[in-house]
Structure 1
Amino acid sequence: MTKRKRLLSLGAILLSFSLVMAGCGTKDEGSKTGTAGEDGKITKLVVGTDATYAPMEYMDEKGNIIGIDVDIVNAIAEAAGIEVEYKNYGWEPLFPAVKDGLVDFAVSSITITPDRQKEFDFTNPYFEANQLILVPEDSDVTSFQDLKDKKVAVQINTTGHIVTGELLGKTSSQIVAAETMPIAILEMINGNADAAVGDNAVIIDYQKNNPNVKVKLIEDSSFEKEYYGLMLKKGNTEVMDLLNKGIKIIKENGKLKEITGFDVE
């Protein structure tokens, strides 16, 4: 670096510093609120997801993100009069992406829980789910309690992981925590776990698409109903109101039931 470059005027330094700080202030204040049109109204939102969770969200052969969740968000966006753009982050990186404002909201079969509500805001529920158990066809497991002395595969930090941790202990070595649900199921198929626990839509879809794999489903009434919501950064009321408006419309006009096959309160 030359002496001339090092000896910038104090005024130039202060001006540059002011511009940087102004830019930082803009980024840190409040929450990301999408792309706005000339009238200031939101016209487009960026949506984060984990596209490994068929049939809810996954990639087709062309690399497009598709699934039930995507159909629902597209319907919400149409009802709210906005566009959406999807970005595939993966499950674990999805949460900091929302918190850091890299996306406007996330859809990824995210169950609304008290712990998550401490860190994020959620829309009104748009999907009802419950946990199912998948075991080999010759397994003697008939209930969730039968898994107490078994190895159980789950997707890390999902509801299946949480309820299995409550049964076996949060740090139990009997829990096989995989990055995705398909990998968790594969762990069970390969004999590295005695069962897999996950959301009903995903487990049923796996069995439907793999009829030659010798497995069976176990339902257990002890599993509580859970509800999915769209997840936002805390305080992002503008986007929250827009999404809830869309959810309300597709519930009332029957579009949500058309996509999912059932009503959601």
Structure 2
Amino acid sequence: MKRFVSVMIIIAAVLSVMAGCSSGKSPEKKNDTLVIGIDDKFAPMGFRDKNNNIVGFDIDMAKAAAKKMGKKVKFQPIDWSTKEQELNSGRIDLIWNGYTITPERKKKVLFTKPYLKNSQVVVTLADSKITKLSDLQGKVVGLQSLSSAADALDANPIKSKIKKVTEYSDNVQALNDLKTGRLDAVVIDEVVINYYMTKEKNTFKVLKESLAPEKYGVGVKKGNTELLKELQKAMDEMNKDGTSAKISKKWFGANKVLD
């Protein structure tokens, strides 16, 4: 009988080890690496350079934070329209790429303190006759799907007067359609269009009236308060020791990081 029990214990132990291996990812590896979900076409926050390397303001910020946390970092390009699902499924640990803090998103994820201000603005071609929001009446407007740009437009009375709103998987496609004349205007993050305007001079103009001010934060899975606390500590240290300011000056030419 004792021999039988011993054999059963051994079998149970072997099955347990096999189950752990079948997951394909050891606990040590998961705890040691932060998998960060990004939109890799969201310059200057996170995008691919001419060598196809993922770079950007948020990329540098995430790397610096991970270093302070004693962790490795892996950037995982995702479909931005499914970002919360990716986070809650466990496929990514953080959403960190120009992720706007909104009341609706607070119901789905935990947020760090805001670290950067932004606004949703309307951009047109430089020679466009559109000069104010009311000029969008009867026009075709583009924006990134399931983004805060959509929320900002929905909240503005001009939305009901627009002829058509076309949604895109990323801002690059929307801006390309603006340049080819398929769109009359694009609703986009101010930090994003400011970057493109430095790269493509005299191509775009931004209306003086913005749709909505907002702030960026890092998204953490609901219930994972330990990771949130650890990350926030690292980000606070980056503000104090000048790391955040240095990264901001690299990408924006000035320190725009919120304390």
Q: How does 1:1-265 map to 2 (within 5 A)?
A: 36=28, 42-167=31-156, 168-169=158-159, 174-211=164-201, 214-220=203-209, 222-260=210-248, 261-265=255-259
- What SS does structure 1 have at the residue aligned with 2:105? helix
Greater share of helix: 2
- Cα separation, 2, equivalents of 1:143 and 1:115: 28
Segments of structure 1 that go 5 or more residues without pairing to the other structure are: 1-11, 28-33
Cα displacement string for residues 65-122 of structure 1 (whole angstroms, at most 9, x for unaligned residues): 1111101111211222322111111312322110101111111211000000111111
Contact preservation (8 Å) 1:165, 1:175:
no
Contact 2:137 2:161 (C-alpha < 8 Å) held by counterparts: no
Q: TM-score, normalised by structure 2?
A: 0.80
Provide the rounded CA distance (Å) in 2 between the counterparts of 1:145 and 1:118: 33
CA contact (8 A) 2:94 2:221 kept: yes
Aligned-pair CA distance for 1:131: 1.9
Checking the alignment, whether the CA contact within 8 Å between 1:154 and 1:177 is kept in structure 2 is: yes
Report the TM-score, using the length of structure 1 for normalisation: 0.79
How many aligned positions are there? Answer: 235
- Describe the shift of the 1:217–1:172 C-alpha distance in structure 2 as closer, same or farther (beyond 3 A): closer
Identity of aligned residues (%): 28
User: Counterpart amino acid of 1:126?
Assistant: Y
**Separation in 2, partners of 1:42, 1:215:** 44
Letter in 1 for 2:88: K
RMSD of Structure 2 on Structure 1 (CA): 2.9
Q: Quick one: distance in 2 between partners of 1:263 and 1:215?
A: 26
CA distance in 1, matches of 2:235, 2:208: 29
Deviations 1:134-161 (A, max 9, x none): 1122223223333233221111111212
Gaps of 5+ in 2: 1-7, 249-254
